[in-house]
Amino acid sequence: MKIDLFFTAEELRENILTDKTVIVIDVLRASVTIAQALYNGCKDIIPVESAERALDLMQKIGRQFVLLCGERDGQKVEGFDLGNSPFEYTEPVVRDKTLIFATTNGSKAIVKAASGDKVVIGSFVNFKEVAELVLNLNKDLAIVCSGKEGKFSLEDTVCGGMFINKLQEQKKADVNDAAQAAAVLYQKHKDNLLKVLETCDHGKFLSSLGFEKDLAFCSQLNSLPVLPILENGRIIKYTA
Ligand code: MLT
């Protein structure tokens, strides 16, 4: 198995994901919000690259058929139904709903990674489900960290390193330099994931906006047993 990690979605080039399993990671917070929405019974989630695109799509589908979701600078976009805090995505709010989802980095990375063979959305909260699927599929893997506005983010890389560590325990893997670096960072931080989220740039920014509770939620390993997978432009719950 070959494993390539990308520190940011901006590193992706045409055809680089063809025939690969892809894990897209946005630990703070898009991956977790997606997992929470599916866990709480939403029908599907359409990731889009911008709030403007979300509005266009909403007009095509019809306002009454969708929830408009996402953030700009960490806060709910004006006129949207929900922001990007997983706490907003409760069962009564999202059950059976189609969500159009636009966030600064996470939804954009998912759209960019759509050419993979199977594209799953991973984070600490659904680590076990995602790792098991990747092992069962037994194909070359690309781990796409969403990063922060084109730059490296510690929390996504540590999570990527956790996947690499787990997969290397089970399979002989040929890993790229970024994957090796991510595995080292995971080893350094594995005993205190919450501290990583509290001290990384985006975690500090979210805390400054009053979202400290989100950091604790996003640091909980295997708390949301759900497998979000991108199919035909929509994220749904994976069933084998
Ligand atoms: C993103 O996609 O950039 C993040 O999920 C931002 C956030 O924390 O809301």
Give me the helix-helix angle, 177-189 and 154-170, nearest 10°: 100
Supply the pLDDT for residue 146: 98
**Is 240 a residue whose pLDDT tops 80?**
no
Q: Is the CB of 108 under 6 A from ligand 1?
A: no
Range 40-49 average pLDDT: 98
Listed residue (219, 162, 163) closest to 28, CA to CA: 219
User: What are the CA-CA distances from residue 138 to residues 2, 20, 72, 128, 170 (Å)?
Assistant: 10, 10, 37, 15, 11
pTM for the model: 0.98
Asked whether the CA dihedral 215, 218, 113, 185 is positive or negative, the reply is positive
**pLDDT confidence band for 174 (50 / 70 / 90):** very high
Of 99, 105, 217, the residue with max ligand 1 atoms within 8 A of its CB, to mutate for a pocket test, comes to 105
- Expressed in angstroms and rounded, the spacing between residue 8 Cα and the centre of ligand 1 is 14
Distance CA 207, CA 164 (A): 29
Q: Is the CB of 28 under 6 A from ligand 1?
A: yes
Mean pLDDT, rounded, for 163-173: 95
Angle between helices 201-208 and 154-170 (to 10 degrees): 130
Spacing, Cα 118 to ligand 1 middle (Å) = 23
Question: Residue 202 Cα, ligand 1 centroid: separation in angstroms?
Answer: 8
What are residue 82's phi and psi, to 5 degrees? Answer: -135, 150
Nearest atom, ligand 1, residue 107 CA = 2
82 DSSP 8-state letter: B
User: Could you tell me where the beta strands, DSSP code E, fall in the chain?
Assistant: 2-6, 21-25, 44-48, 66-72, 75-76, 98-102, 118-122, 141-145, 174-175, 228-231, 234-237
- Chain mean pLDDT for the chain: 97
Half-sphere CA count of 200, side-chain side, radius 13 A: 26
The answer, yes or no, to whether any atom of ligand 1 lies below 6 A from the CB of 103, is yes
Q: Which tens digit of pLDDT belongs to each residue from 177-233?
A: 999 999 999 999 999 999 999 999 999 999 999 999 999 999 999 999 999 999 999
Residue pLDDT, tens place only, 129-147 = 999 999 999 999 999 999 9
Query: What residue ranges define each of the domains in the chain, with the CATH number in brackets?
Result: 2-224 (3.90.1560.10)
* Among candidate residues 18, 5, 227, the one with its CA nearest the CA of residue 121: 227
pLDDT tens track for 117-132: 999 999 999 999 999 9
How far apart CA 149 and CA 44 sit, in angstroms, is 26
Beta carbon of 106 within 6 Å of any ligand 1 atom: yes
* Atom of ligand 1 lying closest to residue 74 CA: 9
